[in-house]
Structure 1
Amino acid sequence: MKKIIFLIVLNAIHFLSFSQQNVTIEGVIIDVNKTTLPYASISILSKNIGTVSNDDGAFFLELKESNLSDTLTVSTIGFTSFKIKVQDYLNLNEKVIVMEEEPVLLDEIVLTLPVNIVKEALKKLKETAYKKPHQLNILYRRFSNENNSSRFLVEHYIKILDTGPTASTFGMVEITQARKSNDYRFVKKKQEFHAVEMIAKQNPLRKGIILKSFDWEIIDYSSYDGEDVIIIEGKEKENHSKWIRLYIGYDTRSIYKLEKSDLKAVYIYKKNMEGKTVLSYHNREYVFWENVSPYMKTLLKLEQDKIKLSYRHEAVVLGIEYTTKKIKVRHNLSKGKDIGDYNIEYQPDFWKNLNLPPDSKFYKTSSEQLESLYGIPLKAQFELAK
């Protein structure tokens, strides 16, 4: 009897461990012309699991065997959403998803004034965007560059309590994991805040757009998930070099994408199971100049008394938690503290098992620059950096 019980327990343990084995989903997203599609959303909407493709259209997603019967949905502006069962995708000989352009059914002439379409979209944000408290699980990166060469990288895994783009700021923000390279900067310029906060603070949807300050015009048409999309650009009346571009659903007035000239910022939103929009991806770049000493000028072989610096920011939403009881965010940001000043112990196993997007060409180039400075591999820098 004891042997029988032991065998039953052993089989049960074996079954549980087998059923929880990881399943790796990876591939490349392209169009019919074999052009790669960056920042496409790859999701299992029913499980709130997802990621985005990198600059080169590549993606990576770690799932469980229990997800084999789930549907993988790929969506991006201008293309028909692609759906496939996880198991069917794994059975493909070539792991390439070809997206087909979605025909735009709108007439070229839209009678509604562009400014009124924008006004309606902003007014309906409380209906079209998901505004109940939810937790965003974000991979946040900042590359610090000097003279267009990377000299410092910080990556944080962050949990954010958010109520959507109708709120002026994020709620609580918690850094749960971190890793960073050695700091090879000559000019250690610091920000007096954690850069993740700027996703909200610099978002025109949250700050509010003064419509009368812009000249609005329809510049193009596209589509998203079966809906025609109107692309409307607003140029500041006093300075036409500054602009905001909105990708607005014609039927729902949902805002699926926002671009702005300031910091070359991009915000991409996707639909969740309820059809409400949630943040999927964001990037921006802050470029500035700093004075250097005569010694530094000679050392760096500069032709002028200033050095070009930049911060390249990227935020990838890797998961969203909607269930109130499962939302757990403990605020741990410090005022006046730069993103590089947080000393959180590096946990390699966590990063190894995280659904990180594949390294893009930009990431590889920047990493190689960091490694070539003193011949130290990036993984070793993560271990050594304090």
Structure 2
Amino acid sequence: MNKKLIKTLFLIVFSLLNVGIIFAQKKIELKGTVYDEQKNPIPYAAVGILSKKIGTATNDDGVFNVLITSDNLNDILEVSTIGFKTFKIKIKDYIEKKMFSIVLIEDAVMLATITLEKPNMYVKKALKKLKKNTLSTKHQVNMLYRRSSVENGKTRFLVEHYLNAIDYGPSDTRYDKLGIAEARKSADYRFAFKKQPAHAVNVMLQINPLRQRIYESDYNWIREDDTSYDGEDVLVIKGVKKDQKKFKEKNWIKFYIGMDTYSIYKIDVSRYASKFSNLKAFYIYKKNYDKKLVLSYHNRQANFTTPISIQKQKLLKLNNKNVVSSYRHEAIVLGRETNKNKIDIKNTIYEKKDMGDYEIKYNAEFWKKISLPPETKFYKKSVKELESIYGVSLEDQFKAVNK
């Protein structure tokens, strides 16, 4: 066989192998909705392939989408959330059955007859085991962070950042490094321009009780409820600062703590900041591939009043010199990089200023190609309100405002 023919055959075989590799890596988008037995959608459920570090969460309508490849067809898709039994199915079966919906079975918990420790002891042990139970080694967090500026009940400005950050887990008080990899803004229709002194993601960390180094002895703790997570019985424990005369609905912390592992799966926070300001927030944690807990989703709304000029009062048809305002925040963790050699923080920010004031070059192609999670009610509401002001679509606002 001559050399020319051998070379030709080699190229043909090589090309066929490449085609096979490309086919094997073809992207497949899994979609579906997670319900309970009464057909109510289940928000913020963890959905993914733990063994392959692939995962997402359902939105507040229970909807999810996750990108996989054809190599994942024999892997197991897992769906888990607080209060329900973990659902598992081979991805190939999920696709072939054309399920498009998953029903989770409620996990009944009967702890009334069990002798339990005092509530404060569960909190104390959970805080002590925080570093053990969470991903607390150096890693990169990739996150979609949104903030809507609301005035007089309507969204008037929206900022979206795709963030990269170096983190050491919730036992650390801050991100070691923060970068705004990509960004986009809506048109700015605000009347009051309240600024935050640093990027809003820092506030997310600062108000997280786990990152504040709180002490269980500073709170009065009560057992409020029982539930479960991924086969583990979970206690819902509520705490209020001891310097308060009585329990106030607008000032408490609530932990969802596993009885066996003392893992903290969810946190609810309600803080009364001043006469004119209050804050409500929650944090959802899920298990990663090595069973360590990582942040999956965060949502909060801070309400306040902002003074405006007489002219602006007339435009808004207000009889008050202060306009009722709020910030709606949403953080969705899209992925992590635990290989230290692959950590790559883009557009590191050093200057502290309001997240709406950072000028990052707009990359329209990035926002078209990135696999974003299904839109939440929070996001849909903000978009609808922004578009209703002058009838301009959000996409057209992005094109006009971002350069």
Q: Calculate the TM-score normalised by the size of structure 1.
A: 0.95
Separation of aligned partners in 2, 1:66 and 1:164: 31
Matched, 1:371 2:387: yes
Asked if 2 retains the 8 angstrom alpha-carbon contact of 1:157 and 1:176, the reply is yes
Separation of aligned partners in 2, 1:331 and 1:343: 11
Q: Structure 1 residues 128, 362: CA separation in 2 closer, same or farther (over 3 Å shift)?
A: closer
Q: Deviations over 1:217-275 (max 9, x none)?
A: 00000000100001100122333321100000001111111111122111111112222
Separation of aligned partners in 2, 1:4 and 1:123: 64
Pick the aligned partner of 1:297 from 279, 293, 313.
313
Separation of aligned partners in 1, 2:362 and 2:95: 33
Separation of aligned partners in 2, 1:75 and 1:351: 29
Q: What does 1:249-328 align with in structure 2 at a 5 Å threshold?
A: 249-262=258-271, 263-328=279-344
Equivalent in the alignment of 1:51: 56
Q: Deviations over 1:290-309 (max 9, x none)?
A: 11111111110113111011
The residue identity in structure 2 corresponding to 1:273 is Y
Q: Deviations over 1:309-348 (max 9, x none)?
A: 1111111111122222222235712333211112222223
Separation of aligned partners in 2, 1:255 and 1:13: 46
The residue identity in structure 1 corresponding to 2:176 is G
CA RMSD of aligned residues (A): 1.7
The residue identity in structure 2 corresponding to 1:286 is A
The residue identity in structure 1 corresponding to 2:324 is K
How many angstroms does 1:179 deviate by?
Answer: 1.6
Pick the aligned partner of 2:127 from 102, 122, 144.
122
Q: Structure 1 residues 219, 108: CA separation in 2 closer, same or farther (over 3 Å shift)?
A: farther
Separation of aligned partners in 2, 1:80 and 1:89: 18
Q: Structure 1 residues 169, 331: CA separation in 2 closer, same or farther (over 3 Å shift)?
A: farther
Matched, 1:381 2:381: no
Q: Calculate the TM-score normalised by the size of structure 2.
A: 0.91
How many angstroms does 1:46 deviate by?
Answer: 1.6
Separation of aligned partners in 1, 2:113 and 2:35: 27
Q: Helix, strand or coil for the counterpart of 1:313?
A: strand
Consecutive aligned runs of 4 or more in structure 1 exceeding 6 Å deviation: none
Q: After the TM superposition, which of the residue ranges 355-364 and 270-279 deviates more from structure 2?
A: 355-364
How many angstroms does 1:103 deviate by?
Answer: 2.2
Equivalent in the alignment of 1:145: 150
Separation of aligned partners in 1, 2:337 and 2:91: 21
Separation of aligned partners in 1, 2:381 and 2:351: 32
Q: Helix, strand or coil for the counterpart of 2:390?
A: coil
How many angstroms does 1:104 deviate by?
Answer: 1.5
Q: After the TM superposition, which of the residue ranges 360-369 and 45-54 deviates more from structure 2?
A: 360-369
Q: What does 1:185-200 align with in structure 2 at a 5 Å threshold?
A: 185-200=190-205
Separation of aligned partners in 2, 1:185 and 1:110: 55
Q: After the TM superposition, which of the residue ranges 108-117 and 182-191 deviates more from structure 2?
A: 108-117
Equivalent in the alignment of 2:89: 84
Asked if 2 retains the 8 angstrom alpha-carbon contact of 1:156 and 1:175, the reply is yes
Separation of aligned partners in 2, 1:210 and 1:4: 71
The residue identity in structure 1 corresponding to 2:330 is E
Q: What does 1:86-101 align with in structure 2 at a 5 Å threshold?
A: 86-101=91-106
Q: After the TM superposition, which of the residue ranges 13-22 and 319-328 deviates more from structure 2?
A: 13-22
Separation of aligned partners in 1, 2:73 and 2:335: 18
Equivalent in the alignment of 2:275: none
Determine which structure has more spread, i.e. the larger CA radius of gyration: 2
Asked if 2 retains the 8 angstrom alpha-carbon contact of 1:162 and 1:170, the reply is yes
Separation of aligned partners in 2, 1:258 and 1:48: 24
Matched, 1:357 2:373: yes
- % same residue: 46
The gaps in structure 2 that reach 5 residues or longer are: 272-278
Pick the aligned partner of 2:71 from 58, 66, 85.
66
